[in-house]
């Protein structure tokens, strides 16, 4: 990663201190400015501050170059690094590169087979993301990452088959100035689809035909508990490292942005890595990378330690619980 890209992208807003009760021994401290932003596919939309979604619909060549092209001279494309999932208040879960810069897709491209139709001046405004060192972070299915060979012989990263780009006018981590440009450019969701906000609350309850009432996140994905975690006298997550790759931590959700979930003990806590994680009845909650669509419950009973969460925070179907 070139230094110029790092310097330009490592700006993030500090998370606000939440006024919470101390029923679970929460420290209620604010998370470090950068650490709280990328906490997996279900990080709360309200927990990630950005300069605002760009909604310009530039006319002209259809590449979003505003009729002229980027004013800066072309630079060597920075490596993708470890991809992460950030939450944007306007777009929900957004795919970002290792420096926190938003990744985009182009409607004139194709995903099956993967093909890029952005070259020349278009690629100056929308630099293709190199596939060389791209890796999947928490909440991203590595099977969705691929590559396509461009006309110049370079390898471009694809997500769900769609070629991935950055936008020249995104300078800071969290910028989404390329969203909607020309009516053809859109931020990438972790699945390769266009990022968009769900109509669901941050946390709500769904009636599962087999499990009964279970908690789901704003994307409708099932929420789980880990039996090795702790709720009292304070919330403690024992899912770290590789565990978080499979079980992304759910980011903070405002209590007012929930529906049907028990309010007592509904609060975030600070993990040892400095990231803020949500809890239900003081129990840390997660989603499962093996769930691919809303309503999936593939994480239920995994290892005899992972179970869907009931509205009161109990593990659904856990033996003796």
pLDDT tens readout for residues 293-319: 778 899 999 999 999 999 999 999 999
Query: DSSP secondary structure string, 10-45?
Result: ---PPPPPP----TT----PPPPTTTTT---TT--G
Least-confidence region, from 2-11, 179-188, 260-269: 2-11
Please give the average per-residue pLDDT across 229-254, as a whole number: 94
pLDDT of residue 31: 36
89 and 116 together in one domain: yes
User: Which of 130, 155, 187 is the last residue in one of the domains?
Assistant: 187
Asked whether residue 100 is assigned to any structural domain, the reply reads yes
217 and 145 together in one domain: no
Q: Burial, 272: exposed, middle or buried (Cβ in 10 Å; 0-12, 13-18, 19+)?
A: exposed
Q: Give the CB-side neighbour count of residue 13, counting CA atoms within 13 A.
A: 15
Q: Chain centroid to CA 201: how far?
A: 16
Q: Measuring CA to CA, how many Å separate 191 from each of 119, 139, 154, 162, 183?
A: 24, 10, 23, 10, 20
218 and 294 together in one domain: yes
Least-confidence region, from 41-50, 62-71, 91-100, 253-262: 41-50
Spatial separation of the C-alpha atoms in residues 105 and 116, rounded to whole Å: 10
Which residues form the domain of 147? Answer: 82-187
Average pLDDT, the chain: 80
Asked whether residue 144 is assigned to any structural domain, the reply reads yes
92 band by pLDDT with thresholds 50, 70 and 90: confident
214 and 294 together in one domain: yes
Asked whether residue 62 is assigned to any structural domain, the reply reads no
238 and 183 together in one domain: no
User: Which of 187, 215, 235 is the last residue in one of the domains?
Assistant: 187
178 and 270 together in one domain: no
Spatial separation of the C-alpha atoms in residues 36 and 13, rounded to whole Å: 10
Instruction: For residue 241, give every residue at least 6 positions away whose Cβ sits within 8 Å of its Cβ, in sequence order, or none.
Output: none
Asked whether residue 99 is assigned to any structural domain, the reply reads yes
Q: What is the CA radius of gyration of the chain?
A: 20
Relative to beta strand 110-111, strand 162-163 is: unpaired
User: Which of 155, 187, 219 is the last residue in one of the domains?
Assistant: 187
Q: Is 245 helix (H, G, I), strand (E, B) or coil?
A: helix
Spatial separation of the C-alpha atoms in residues 185 and 64, rounded to whole Å: 8
249 and 277 together in one domain: yes
146 and 98 together in one domain: yes
- Highest mean predicted confidence (pLDDT) among 1-10, 90-99, 160-169: 160-169
Please give the average per-residue pLDDT across 75-88, as a whole number: 84
CB contact at 8 A, 277 and 225: no
pLDDT of residue 213: 96
Closest CA to 280 of 246, 320, 308: 308
Asked whether residue 231 is assigned to any structural domain, the reply reads yes
pLDDT of residue 273: 86
Asked whether residue 270 is assigned to any structural domain, the reply reads yes
193 band by pLDDT with thresholds 50, 70 and 90: very high
- What are 142-184's pLDDT values in tens digits? 999 999 999 999 999 999 999 999 999 999 998 999 998 988 9
Structural domain tally of the chain? 2
> Is the pLDDT confidence value at 91 over 90?
no
Asked whether residue 321 is assigned to any structural domain, the reply reads no
pLDDT of residue 76: 65
Write out the two tokens for 153. 């012989």
> Is the pLDDT confidence value at 8 over 80?
no
- What are 14-33's pLDDT values in tens digits? 333 343 444 575 444 433 33
Instruction: For residue 279, give every residue at least 6 positions away whose Cβ sits within 8 Å of its Cβ, in sequence order, or none.
Output: 24, 231, 235, 265, 266, 267, 268, 269, 285, 313
pLDDT of residue 127: 97
End-to-end CA, the chain: 48
183 and 219 together in one domain: no
91 and 172 together in one domain: yes
As a whole-number percent, the residues of the chain with pLDDT over 70 amount to 76
Q: How many helices (H) and strands (E) does the chain have?
A: 3, 18
Angle at alpha carbon of residue 201, lines to 161 and 181, rounded to 5°:
45
181 and 226 together in one domain: no
211 and 154 together in one domain: no
Asked whether residue 150 is assigned to any structural domain, the reply reads yes
């Amino acid at each position: 990663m070139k230094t110029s890209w790092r310097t330009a992208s490592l700006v993030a807003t500090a998370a606000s201190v939440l006024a919470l009760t101390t029923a679970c021994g929460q420290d209620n401290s604010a998370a470090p400015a950068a650490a709280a932003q990328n906490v997996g596919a279900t990080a709360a939309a309200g927990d990630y501050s950005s300069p605002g979604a760009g909604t310009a619909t530039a006319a002209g060549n259809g590449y979003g170059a505003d009729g002229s092209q980027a004013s800066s001279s072309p630079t060597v494309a920075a490596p993708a690094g470890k991809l992460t999932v950030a939450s944007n208040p306007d777009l929900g879960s957004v795919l970002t590169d290792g420096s926190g810069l938003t990744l985009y897709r182009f409607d004139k491209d194709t995903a099956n087979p993967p093909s890029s139709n952005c070259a020349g001046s278009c690629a100056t405004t929308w630099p293709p993301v190199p596939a060389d060192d791209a890796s999947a972070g928490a909440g991203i299915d590595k099977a969705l990452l691929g590559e396509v060979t461009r006309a110049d012989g370079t390898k471009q990263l694809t997500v769900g088959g769609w070629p991935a780009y950055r936008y020249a006018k995104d300078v800071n981590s969290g910028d989404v100035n390329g969203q909607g440009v020309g009516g053809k450019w859109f931020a990438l969701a972790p699945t390769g689809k266009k990022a968009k906000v769900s109509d669901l609350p941050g946390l709500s309850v769904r009636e599962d035909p087999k499990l009964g009432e279970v908690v789901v996140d704003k994307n409708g994905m099932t929420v789980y508990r880990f039996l090795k975690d702790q709720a009292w006298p304070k919330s403690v997550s024992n899912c770290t490292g590789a565990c978080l790759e499979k079980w992304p931590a759910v980011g903070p959700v405002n209590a007012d942005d929930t529906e049907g979930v028990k309010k007592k003990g509904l609060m975030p806590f600070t993990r040892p890595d400095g990231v803020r994680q949500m809890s239900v009845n003081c129990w840390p909650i997660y989603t499962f990378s093996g769930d691919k669509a809303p309503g999936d419950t593939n994480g239920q009973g995994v290892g005899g330690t992972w179970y869907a969460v009931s509205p009161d925070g109990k593990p659904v179907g856990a033996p003796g619980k």
